[in-house]
């Protein structure tokens, strides 16, 4: 059977370019209006995307004055979107650092039932110091501590989702038996971070458990993904690093006893699409002209754990020595490595770097025609760089519409993308097997 290309839509603000909220082609709806998300989700479903994804942030950003980055809490929003869609997968971020395992397990099991088996969980180990101040005020955990806590978190929630056998609910009205107690078991977890008795207080979901998604690309993050992730959202600014990441993660997954096709690698792609290359470049220039360099400087500082870049002039070429050592950064370490890799290769000015990151925060950006975008997708897919893409339109819904109207038909004619949904669940869209329960039998 031929490999199938997978496409996820990452819904972020009014688009992934940081100035998208100001662009006339962006949606006029408020970012707190569920109608906005419903509209974009339905457009993605009409385009036959595998899934949509809502990210999360657990603190108010410092660039509130000049950036539109506030949105609805994603798990709540997905519950509404489940009723507004029928086939597309629904993925939300939730933190292992600042969420109780029992609550998260209940929420995602409920969403899986509500949606008919279309839910995925993007697993994050939150790192922002501002988030730590909102959850008890203790100092932020180190990179290693976050992943250590995350590993135990995964043991607990997986146990809870497994605590009901698939056939536990009898619903025998005549005999008077709703569920079989023998098919529902406690987990009695007692670990370094959590003590959870279980079982979960609702039955096993249609998918067994949500599809596990993860985005860490550091060494620790890769090994965590190899053990747990079924889809990986990753950031690469060139194909060669994407190929290295792809090959390495498939090897790591095999070492964990997992099949290569049960972990999908989906690099981020933010396409600016025009009828001609010149038109696409014009839109790109329009967006960059609307950016505020100081907003970009704040975001760059946050990426490097609060490092102060205020002393750097905007128009001097950068060197690696202008940045802290990524191995010492306790924030999103993989993204810092992407940024430093770009600086090492291209020696951009700070202004140019900030404009590059404004497009999609370190993901691959491209301005071109539909044919050029389709060519890039097919090239990466066929040369060991991707199993599909996390599509990050720079302007929503305009660039999503251009992608579904112009790029997807090209991929379909080339035999790379579906012409209709074949399955009903996110697992079926992604070609993933149903996970067995550890308590079956």
Annotation: binding site for FMN: 56, 93, 143, 147, 217-218
How do beta strands 169-172 and 177-179 pair?
Answer: antiparallel
As annotated, the binding site includes 56, 93, 143, 147, 217-218
Segment (H or E) for 126: none
Q: How many Cβ atoms from other residues are within 10 Å of residue 171's Cβ?
A: 7
Rounded to a whole number of angstroms, the distance between the first and last alpha carbons of the chain is 32
333-346 and 293-303 helices, crossing angle to 10°: 120
Joined tokens for residue 232: 């990986």
Joined tokens for residue 129: 């110091």
Taking CA atoms, 154 is separated from 99, 113, 186, 188, 434, in Å, by 12, 20, 16, 14, 17
Joined tokens for residue 86: 């029928």
208, 33, 188: which is closest to 108 by C-alpha? Answer: 208
Look up residue 96 and give its DSSP letter. S
Burial 78-88 (b: 16+ CB within 10 A, else e): bbebbeebebb
Q: 271 forms bridges with which residues in the sheet? A: 366
Residue indicated by tokens 């100035």: 19
Percent helix, strand and coil across the chain, each to the nearest 5 = 45, 15, 40
Render 114-140 in DSSP notation, one character per residue.
Answer: HHTS-EEEEEE----HHHHHHTT-PPP
**CA–CA distance, 268 with 18 (Å, rounded to integer):** 16
């Amino acid at each position: 059977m031929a490999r199938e290309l997978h496409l996820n839509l990452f819904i972020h603000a009014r688009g992934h370019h940081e100035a998208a909220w100001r662009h006339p082609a962006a949606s006029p709806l408020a970012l707190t209006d569920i109608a906005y998300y419903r509209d974009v989700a339905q457009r993605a479903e009409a385009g036959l995307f595998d899934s949509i994804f809502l990210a999360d942030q657990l603190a108010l950003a410092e660039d509130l004055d000049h950036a539109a980055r506030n949105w609805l809490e994603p798990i709540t929003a997905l519950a509404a979107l489940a009723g507004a869609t029928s086939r597309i997968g629904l993925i939300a971020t939730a933190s292992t650092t600042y969420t109780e395992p029992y609550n998260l397990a209940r929420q995602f099991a409920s969403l899986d039932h509500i949606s008919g088996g279309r839910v995925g969980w993007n697993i994050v180990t939150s790192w922002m110091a501002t988030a730590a101040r909102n959850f008890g005020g203790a100092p932020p955990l180190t990179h290693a501590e976050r992943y250590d806590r995350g590993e135990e978190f995964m043991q607990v929630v997986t146990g809870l989702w497994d605590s009901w056998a698939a056939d536990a609910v009898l619903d025998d009205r005549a005999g008077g038996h709703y569920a079989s107690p023998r098919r529902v078991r406690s987990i009695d977890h007692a670990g370094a971070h959590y003590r959870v008795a279980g079982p979960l207080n609702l039955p096993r979901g249609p998918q067994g458990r949500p599809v596990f998604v993860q985005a860490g690309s550091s060494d620790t993050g890769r090994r965590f993904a190899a053990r747990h992730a079924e889809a990986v959202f990753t950031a690469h600014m060139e194909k060669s690093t994407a190929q290295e990441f792809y090959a390495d993660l498939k090897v790591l997954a095999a070492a964990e006893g997992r099949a290569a096709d049960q972990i999908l690698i989906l690099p981020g792609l933010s396409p600016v699409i025009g009828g001609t290359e010149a038109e696409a470049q014009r839109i790109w220039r329009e967006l960059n002209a609307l950016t505020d360099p100081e907003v970009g400087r704040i975001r760059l500082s946050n990426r490097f754990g609060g490092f102060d870049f205020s002393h750097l002039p905007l128009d001097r070429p950068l060197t690696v020595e202008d940045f802290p050592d990524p191995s010492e950064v306790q924030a999103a370490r993989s993204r810092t490595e992407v940024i430093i890799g770009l600086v090492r290769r291209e020696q951009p000015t700070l202004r140019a770097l900030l404009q590059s990151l404004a497009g999609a925060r370190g993901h691959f950006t491209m301005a071109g025609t539909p044919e050029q975008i389709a060519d890039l997708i097919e090239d990466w897919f066929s040369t060991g760089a991707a199993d599909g893409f996390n599509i990050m339109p720079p302007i929503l819904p305009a660039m999503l519409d251009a992608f579904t109207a112009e790029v997807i038909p090209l991929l379909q004619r080339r035999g790379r993308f579906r012409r209709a949904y074949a399955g009903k669940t996110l697992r079926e869209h992604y070609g993933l097997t149903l996970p067995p329960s550890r308590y079956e039998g």
